[in-house]
Chains A and B, each alone.
Chain A
């Protein structure tokens, strides 16, 4: 792996006294599209948030192209879980997308026509131009997710982190989002996506990160996403039974 976009070393993080991430080490190849997969409570969202300084990490270091987060934050786009915001907020779709540009606009300035135009183009790209002036609570779940993705696109980042962008969306939205993600990859962007649907992992992602409190396995999907690795990630019970098996056999021999 010659070109490392993201490097995480010895990352520990806890959530309300419970350790959620322990000793996470990983290096993500530049220009890769990685699916982060693991059971509920495996720390997938926490991993994204810890990398982006949104959740305090106990120890460890995170570097983006060899730089700390502070120096790189303008090159990083983040798509939070859809449920993390209040969709009754008094604003429209175009306005939400424009928020992605607030980092570029700077203090004391208002979004100009140029920024609005950029936001509008991003909405159009996600097939949402007819909904630009629609109040956000009146959008469907899939449409809300497209607005979020459009907002990430206007940021024009190098690295994208997305938390379950495909959760609870309709087929058309899923298709639109995956087309966009693959396009980002072709443009050389590095994308990390928390994903929940094991069936589509092989089709959607070229790399996979199997996570359960720590990195179980990480690498190209065709080598990493194997039955054995998946059961090591998910199957607490399966693994336990097999280990017991292992113990039982020698004890009989004795």
Chain B
């Protein structure tokens, strides 16, 4: 596949996974947890690197999941000690991120890991760092990791669709029906971590937040059905990824930056023109 093809495929996979996960982040009113986890997975990656001495798929995924779970647990724990939810997020994720940054500069040395890379990502170099897979042949490592993350996220969402729905809408009822709400919360946070770490190489920690939140927030404005919201959100993610790439080529600028900017444009268009909740619709036909 040509260079451009790999970039677009990689970015689209980011859009798909983030779009799906983002819907539940929005509906669970936990958008800021995405920001927190996108930073703390850095710690997971660094620790995985210190142990295995390589920046590669499985150890990175495991490290990220553990870091995500640690973040979730610490945030809940501080919150239970009477510290406001968002304050506890702020405390936990900055501290864990800082530990990651310190570890990078003291213990990792000149390896292929730096803060700049972690924050901004570098999708431009992805097609050159390949691995060999049976049947398919040479595939960029980051793309393979993203495909794996997408399969994991999609299968969890499909398999536990009604559980995600009920625990997002009415956790108290879910608990009274015997659905393990807390356990599912941690599973969900693991999925957020997997998505984030897989997207890391391509778009970086800051842009992944844009890909997680903005397409889902846009989709929320277009539909009243959860299944359609999932489809729309992942489509918006893919559209933003492709549009962002071509904008970046045209303006000769950062690819991940352009993609994040594209998600913002999608949101703006939705906010103004959505027939259900858009500005114009509200103006023309006042709410009930």
Q: Which residue of B lies closest to A109 (CB)?
A: B162
A90 touches B162 (CB 8 A): no
Mask, B161-203, CB within 8 Å of A = 1, is: 1110110111011111111000000000000000000000000
Complex contact B224–A135 (CB within 8 A): yes
Cross-chain contact B172 with A80 (CB below 8 angstroms): yes
Residue B29 at the chain A interface, CB threshold 8 Å: yes
Cα A89 to Cα B229 in complex, Å, equals 11
- CB proximity of A170 to chain B, nearest CB, Å: 16
* Residues in chain A near residue B29, CB distance under 8 A: 86
Name the segment of A23-31, A70-78, A175-183, A239-247 touching the other chain.
A70-78
Q: How far is the CA of A49 from the CA of B165 in the complex (A)?
A: 21
Q: Does B175 lie within 8 Å of A53, measured CB to CB?
A: yes
Any B CB within 8 A of the CB of A16: yes
**Which listed residue, A54, A80, A102, touches B162 by the CB 8 Å rule?**
A102
Chain A residues 52 to 92 lying within 8 A of chain B, measured CB to CB, are 52-54, 73-74, 76-78, 80, 84-86, 89-92
A105 within 8 A of B: yes
| Chain B neighbourhood of A86, CB < 8 A | 27, 29, 169
Q: Name the residue on A nearest B220 (C-beta).
A: A90
B177 contacts A91, C-beta separation under 8 Å: no
Number of chain A residues close to chain B: CB under 8 A: 34
CB distance from A134 to the nearest CB of B (A): 9
Is the pair A99, B176 in contact by a Cβ cutoff of 8 Å? no
B residues less than 8 Å from A77 (CB atoms) = 176
Which B residues are CB-close (under 8 A) to A96? 169
Determine the distance from Cα of A110 to Cα of B158 in the docked complex, in whole angstroms: 10
Residue A90 contacts which of B174, B176, B179, B223 (CB distance < 8 angstroms)? B223
Beta-carbon contact of B173 and A78 below 8 Å: yes
* B172 in contact with A91 (CB, 8 Å): no
Task: Please tell me if the beta carbons of A85 and B170 are within 8 angstroms of each other in the complex.
Answer: yes
- Residue in contact with B224 in the complex, picked from A53, A90, A99, CB distance below 8 Å: A90
Minimum distance in angstroms from A11 CB to a CB of chain B: 17
Chain B residues lying within 8 Å of A137, measured Cβ to Cβ, are 224
- Shortest beta-carbon distance, B275 to chain A, in Å? 13
- Cβ of A108: which chain B residues have Cβ within 8 Å of it? 159-160
CB B184 to nearest CB in A, in angstroms, measures 11
Interface string of B137-164 (1 = CB under 8 A from A): 0000000000000000000000111110
State whether the Cβ of B115 lies closer than 8 Å to any Cβ in chain A. Answer: no
Query: Chain B's nearest CB lies how many Å from the CB of A223?
Result: 32
B242 to chain A, nearest CB (A): 26
Q: Is A186 an interface residue (CB 8 A)?
A: no
Cβ contact of A99, chosen from B173, B228, B288, cutoff 8 A: B173
Question: With A16-B82, A91-B224 known to touch, is A99 a contact of B166 (CB < 8 Å)?
Answer: yes
For residue A100, give the distance in angstroms from its CB to the closest CB of chain B: 8
Query: Does B78 have its Cβ within 8 Å of any Cβ on chain A?
Result: no
State A77–B172 Cα separation when bound (angstroms). 11
The reply to whether the CB of B285 lies closer than 8 angstroms to some CB of chain A is: no
Taking A91-B224, A91-B226 as contacts, is the C-beta distance between A102 and B177 under 8 angstroms?
yes
4 closest residue pairs by CB, A with B: A103-B177, A135-B224, A78-B176, A73-B178
**Hey, which bits of chain A sit against chain B, CB under 8 A?**
16-17, 49, 52-54, 73-74, 76-78, 80, 84-86, 89-92, 96, 99-100, 102-103, 105, 107-108, 110-111, 135, 137-138, 151, 155
Residues of B in contact with A (beta carbons under 8 Å apart) = 27, 29, 82, 159-163, 165-166, 168-170, 172-179, 220, 223-226, 228-229, 288
Enumerate 24 A-B pairs (CB-CB under 8 Å) in ascending A order.
Answer: A54-B175, A74-B178, A76-B176, A78-B176, A80-B170, A80-B172, A85-B169, A85-B170, A86-B169, A89-B27, A90-B27, A90-B223, A90-B226, A91-B224, A91-B226, A92-B224, A92-B225, A99-B165, A99-B170, A99-B173, A103-B178, A105-B162, A107-B160, A155-B177
